[in-house]
Structure 1
């Protein structure tokens, strides 16, 4: 019986990685169609996030009511304590949506890797974590890939939309890193403990009132109701589908991490950028100049190096821990 357990476990790990990759790319494709200038070009970006968050809460509550999943009951005190995490979460979603609207998918995927530089620096400063030479090398490769890609894309004639897209892409990198680092503190450095489904529930629920601020500031709360796309059935179906995909991506992420490891999840995230780029070029017919393609590949290789480097660092840490425990046993 033991010989059959390993193949089954490996099969589930492979399936979870494939499902996570599929959901991630499907979400990118849906958002690109919703806010992309060449497609629906829906201008009320904050309303898109509000709709996706609301749909996410409904799906989680329905799944909980049917006994499919379980998470903590709603608590106003927990919601208040979780609000800073959700604030960074909303900023991550909002800036990511604006960046996706102003930049091609292949540019967005390369710059997503830049977030790792900020996270690694933050983990070193806040949690004292050190990284190996392979991870440091990958960070240099990713940064060079991002700089070269942006330089070749702008090509000396930057448009207002392009410059705005790069600004929001940079803000997305900062807010994503802040979200990851603060979530780690909230879940490990404080007394606040939530299950993964609970995190997804509070992220989406607390995001709903927080989104009213950008909606009021941009005027989306008023203009959205006069947008002709609000009575466009195919668009509304895609908007609903994107909300389903959003919670599906969360669940796929949790599943991938639970049956594999965080390092495997990071590696899959790096490899995941390959199909994302092909989506933009092949399915959405976005232009990719040969020179830019080389730099995009350069940046994605850095992302894969990062995932592999994190895996090697984790393996080295496990071996060091096991060796230390063995020495203790021998002394005893």
Structure 2
């Protein structure tokens, strides 16, 4: 129970602190924020290794070159996620995050073969429906002070938040599938993955921040206003520590529970995560918004149930999917 609560708490903490920093109109140093988080995460696990609490393999240039594309995908995933979170409310962001599950499921079918059960298809339909309801509720929501988009959730295909969210779902799916392949080839453990992901992400994020972001004194003062500088810096540090907690608590939860329980916790965590946006940021509580949250929660439970049933011998409800031909083996 402690492991489960720790995993849920760390996930909520990081999302809320990131929203606090990114949700305002003026903060635009996203690459810098993500770089600080990676530095904090790397420094923390290095300190734990030095103290004898954990262990992971030493740096190897050959392995680093092979892992670098994975870290580049990670940067794309976390950057598009940070941009989406800057424009969207936490409930809407959380609901649309479910669509990543669909991308990953069909990505695995295309890359590894396999099938998608009818129950999984039902859960996918519920996920799409919940996202549609969330978007509809966002249309009806009046403008809120501090909305980064400045349009009160006016929905269109050109709305920046939804575009970034779509890109995040794609990047997330490609990252997960690519990392799954690379872990099998390198036999990386959890802390090995954490170490290389953060170490190789730092130079990418730092270069992107220096080249693509405005580091003029005026813009720095805009991002870190004198009357709110300490809370913003504190939130950035906390979000960096939360990234460590999520990685550790995920491994901890899997180790002390079953993979089925862990999957169920991930589905159940969608509800408190969405509610946290209503509590901490005074997002308006509407019938459409609450319905979307509830439906997204149910879709997660249905998907978890479908994954549990995949392990059973009966395959009568499986819809065969054809593996795409490839020109060479990965």
With the length of structure 2 as denominator, give the TM-score of the two structures: 0.84
Which residue of structure 1 lines up, in the alignment, with residue 14 of structure 2?
27
Matched, 1:245 2:242: yes
- After superposition, the Cα gap between the structure-2 partners of 1:284 and 1:152, relative to the gap in structure 1 and judged at 3 Å, is closer
With the length of structure 1 as denominator, give the TM-score of the two structures: 0.84
CA deviation vs aligned residue, 1:1-33 (integer Å, no higher than 9, x gap): xxxxxxxxxxxxx32222111110111111111
Look up the SS of the partner of 2:24 in the other structure.
coil
Higher RCO, Cα 8 Å, sep 6+: 2
Alignment of structure 1 residues 245-264 onto 2, 5 Å: 245-264=242-261
Matched, 1:211 2:216: no
CA contact (8 A) 1:47 1:221 kept: no
Q: Give the RMSD, CA atoms, in angstroms.
A: 2.2
Matched, 1:122 2:122: no
Aligned equivalents of 2:20, 2:150: Cα separation in 1: 21
- After superposition, the Cα gap between the structure-2 partners of 1:79 and 1:107, relative to the gap in structure 1 and judged at 3 Å, is same
Matched, 1:229 2:224: yes
Which residue of structure 1 lines up, in the alignment, with residue 271 of structure 2?
274
- After superposition, the Cα gap between the structure-2 partners of 1:230 and 1:315, relative to the gap in structure 1 and judged at 3 Å, is farther
Task: Decide which of 292, 297, 300 is 2:297's aligned counterpart.
Answer: 300
Aligned equivalents of 1:198, 1:230: Cα separation in 2: 38
Look up the SS of the partner of 1:131 in the other structure.
strand
Which residue of structure 2 lines up, in the alignment, with residue 323 of structure 1?
none
Aligned equivalents of 2:117, 2:141: Cα separation in 1: 37
**Would you say how many aligned residue pairs link Structure 1 and Structure 2?**
300
Alignment of structure 1 residues 1-332 onto 2, 5 Å: 14-37=1-24, 42-155=27-140, 162=153, 163-188=159-184, 190=185, 192-222=186-216, 225-227=220-222, 229=224, 232-316=229-313
Aligned equivalents of 1:245, 1:139: Cα separation in 2: 29
| Structure 2, unpaired ranges of 5+ | 144-148, 154-158, 315-330
Which residue of structure 1 lines up, in the alignment, with residue 326 of structure 2?
none
Aligned equivalents of 2:136, 2:211: Cα separation in 1: 32
CA contact (8 A) 2:27 2:223 kept: no
- After superposition, the Cα gap between the structure-2 partners of 1:98 and 1:228, relative to the gap in structure 1 and judged at 3 Å, is closer
Which has a greater percent of helix?
1
What is the CA distance between 1:217 and its match in structure 2?
4.6
